[in-house]
Amino acid sequence: MLLDCNPYGSAVPLDVDEQSNRISGGGYAANLQFPFMASLQRIFNNQAVPTRGHRCGGALITFQHVLTAASCLYEWNADGTRSPISTANYRVFAGAHQLTNDTSADRVRTILQYTEHPEYLGIPSYLNDIGVITLNPRDDLSCTVAGWGALNNNPTSLASVDLKFAAKYIYNQEMCTNVYNTQHGMPNIRNTMVCAASYDIVSSGCVSDEGNPLICDGVLTGILALHGNCAASSYPEIYTRVNNYTSFIRGVTGSANTFTPGASIFILLTLTQMAFASLLS
């Protein structure tokens, strides 16, 4: 049920036209009229209905974060209690005005994690009813890494005088987990990590490349933690996922926005409206 905020009293229930999936009496939005709009959807059997399992609305505040109500991050059980939603059972849709326009993978993203306000009190108070959904990066997203690392694993080669760069792509998280978690002595892949591989296989991180930034679609996405040790390999390299550490970074730097220093969230939303034709990382 959708509610109309009545300034003269309590919230007033509004009828919802299920055929058009809109608030009765409201207007139809044009495509990309509200490019920041996002739909939190339950995945189970959602392709069978035109509303695609839509549960709650939200707003893209970065290319990888959706702002929504904390109450949307819970679901009702048969016994009348509420439980936190499982990220595996939900997805986020954005980039089009019709929920059925979801055939492009660019418009749908799975959920990495979500965070509710620490002082959210739940129903019926609805106090601090706000939360942030963090989206998984799109697989095969084109990225670039740059650094002054060594050119080879020769003991005398410690660094490159010239800054070099290489093209990378985001490696499927589940596949990366299978690659590393089964190997003795290798780190277990966590949600705080992101994996990236080289298109040409030849390009590889080397000595002194640790700490290199991974930039994906203009967004600082990762910090190199484990590289390929100068060897040509199809194995992905492991990066620390930057967006998991925004609170830490802001706490140290005092920056209002980790990824676009000096820019306000309103500038970010403006850029999103200008450039957002598909759901990007």
Taken in order of first residue, the domains within the chain and their CATH numbers are 2-135 (2.40.10.10), 142-244 (2.40.10.10)
Q: What is the rounded CA–CA span in Å between residue 218 and residue 143? A: 8
pTM over 0.75: no
Distance of CA 206 to the CA centre of its chain: 29
In the chain, pLDDT over 90 holds for what percent of residues?
25
* In the predicted structure, residue 217 carries a pLDDT above the cut 60: yes
pLDDT exceeds 90 at position 56: yes
Closest-CA residue to 212 (of 172, 185, 240): 240
**Lowest mean per-residue pLDDT among 55-69, 174-188, 244-258:** 244-258
Q: What is the Cα 88 distance to its own chain's centre?
A: 14
Tell me which of 110-119, 145-154, 208-217 is least confident.
145-154
What pLDDT, on the 0 to 100 scale, is given for residue 37?
A: 94
pLDDT of residue 182: 78
Q: Which of 115, 13, 22, 132 is nearest to 67 (CA)?
A: 132
Three-state secondary structure call for residue 76: strand
Q: Is the CB of residue 237 less than 8 Å from the CB of residue 195?
A: yes
Amino acid identity of 82?
A: R
Q: Which pLDDT band holds residue 155 (cuts at 50, 70, 90)?
A: low
DSSP state of 121: -
Question: What pLDDT, on a 0 to 100 scale, did the predictor assign at position 186?
Answer: 77
- Token representation of residue 18: 């299920």
Q: Is the pLDDT of residue 269 over 60?
A: no
Closest CA to 55 of 37, 36, 28, 73: 73
Q: How many CB atoms lie within 10 A of CB 161?
A: 7
Give me the mean pLDDT over the 175-182 stretch: 85
Lowest mean pLDDT among 22-31, 117-126, 218-227: 22-31
Contacting residues for 116 by C-beta, under 8 A, at least 6 apart: 70, 73, 130, 131
What CA–CA distance (Å, rounded) separates 16 from 26?
10
Euclidean distance between CA atoms 219 and 266, whole angstroms = 17
Which residue, 121, 140, 138, 120, is CA-closest to 130?
A: 120
Per-residue pLDDT band at 180 (split at 50, 70, 90): confident
Q: Residue 144 is encoded by which pair of tokens?
A: 């670039």
213: Cβ contacts below 8 Å, ≥ 6 apart: 145, 146, 220, 222, 223, 224
Position 206 scores a pLDDT of: 78
Q: Which amino acid is at 271?
A: L
How far apart are alpha carbons 137 and 220 in whole angstroms? 12
CA quadruple 92, 241, 199, 63: dihedral, nearest 10: 40
Cα separation, 270 vs 151, in Å, equals 41
Structure tokens at 199: 């298109």
> So what's the pLDDT on residue 231?
67
Cβ atoms of 150 and 159 closer than 8 Å: yes
